Amino acid sequence: MSFQFAASSNKRSAIKVLIVDDDPISLALLSNFLTELGYEFESATNGREALDKMRWFTPSLVISDVEMPEMDGVTLCREIRRRRSIQYTYVILLTYRSEHESLLMGLNAGADDYLSKPFSPEELRLRIDAGKRLLSLEGRDMMIFSLAKLAESRDEDTGEHLERMREYSKLIAAELMTWPKFADVIDCQFVELIYLTSPLHDIGKVGVPDSILRKPGKLTPEEFEIMKQHTLIGADTLKASAQAYSEATFLWMAYEIAVNHHERWDGTGYPHQLSGEQIPLSARIVAVADVYDALRSKRVYKPAFSHEKSVEIIVQGRGTQFDPDIVDAFVKLESQIREVAESYSLRLPAPIVDPLSLGSVPSQPVAE
């Protein structure tokens, strides 16, 4: 097997790899290949040694030969699947056996992919890339959930608010995807990402003092200025994460939502007074979803508004607070929006936010 490497990459991959093969030549070739591509890896000569290594080395991806002494690759795969782990381990099996037999053995053992020997470096690279895509999806979902829960821990009543507004955002985005105007902007991936990342819109509240965040009454102008900083705190947090983990491109949508979901169509919002289409589309969608849920939620200083009253206030903000197209999509979907709202409890007060969010509602800090 001859390996011809592409240009070497100096950037070390976050993916850890364990290679398992009793053939020293094959092991050396795999080691050189992974070194050239910048992967952190460990090696073992059989399945038992591999399991011992995994006691202190936690690989995201295992590349293992099938035929090995002491413990073969199929048994190793089964043992990996039996172990409890905080992350998924992607397993690629290597074999000289017939394609059909290898496929059945791999699937039965819980393998994710397999390669028949001899294989080309390019083929192995593509299989590794496929594994990385699957692992990045798992890591993405875990990261989003963890960050959203971090914000929720600071405010006792955000949980169902997050669930509702992400559903509203997904419905609106899916509707807009069918409009010719948005055909080149919104696709299925956009719809999925806004559903996944919209719960992070208030992640910046982790930086707001409890005395303000949990105040049961009206905020003073000075307190409200501090509350408004949650957009910038959230943006800084998510931007730093996006820059540190370049493969986590989904964090950029979370960033643009966090910093812009209080901007207004007419340019009177915050923190940067953006207007019209200067405001990212994802943030314009979340703004409508967020305010509707605030209107439907009970506060210590106001009752929960009815669906009809809430829709009326959203429509009043068309072209001033909200993007007219998004309001039109919202109105078209109002029966579905109402079903989502009524499928969750709306009895508890939700997090406190800004008085500009409610249009014609009396000037009180309200939940988003």
Ordered strands of the 90-95 beta sheet: 40-44, 16-20, 61-65, 90-95, 113-116
Three-class SS string for 164-227? HHHHHHHHHHHHHHCCHHHCCCCCHHHHHHHHHHHHHHHHHHHHCCHHHHCCCCCCCHHHHHHH
Residue 309, in any domain of the structure: yes
Residue holding tokens 């798992």? Answer: 138
Residue 148, in any domain of the structure: no
The whole model's pTM is what?
Answer: 0.62
Give the residue, 43 or 349, on which the prediction is more confident. 43
pLDDT at 111: 87
Tally of domains in the chain: 2
Residue 60, in any domain of the structure: yes
Same domain assignment for residues 129 and 228: no
Residues 278-318 pLDDT 10s: 999 999 999 999 999 989 987 655 688 999 999 999 999 99
Same domain assignment for residues 341 and 192: yes
Residue 366, in any domain of the structure: no
Q: Which amino acid is at 106?
A: G
- Percent helix, strand, coil in the chain, to 5, is 55, 10, 35
Assess contact for 351 and 342: CB atoms under 8 A: no
Pick from 215, 212, 236, 216: nearest CA to 225 = 212
Query: What is the percent of the chain where pLDDT is above 70?
Result: 77
Average pLDDT over residues 156-172: 81
* pLDDT band at residue 241 using 50, 70 and 90 as cut-offs: confident
Structural domain range at position 202: 155-358
Q: Which of 154-158, 211-215, 248-252, 289-293 is the most confident on average?
A: 289-293
pLDDT at 152: 59
Q: How far is it, in rounded angstroms, from Cα 96 to Cα 105? A: 13
Residue 94, in any domain of the structure: yes
Residues 112-156 pLDDT 10s: 888 878 878 888 888 888 888 777 666 666 666 666 656 655 555
Radius of gyration of the chain (CA): 26
pLDDT at 143: 63
Same domain assignment for residues 57 and 166: no
Average pLDDT over residues 336-342: 92
* pLDDT band at residue 345 using 50, 70 and 90 as cut-offs: low
pLDDT at 301: 58
Same domain assignment for residues 217 and 102: no
Q: Indicate which CATH number applies to the domain containing 112.
A: 3.40.50.2300
Residues 50-71 pLDDT 10s: 999 988 888 889 999 988 999 9
pLDDT averaged over every residue in the chain: 81
**CA angle 164-166-170, nearest 5°?**
120
Tell me which of 55-64, 103-112, 197-206 is least confident.
103-112
Same domain assignment for residues 240 and 343: yes
Local structure of 44: helix, strand or coil: strand
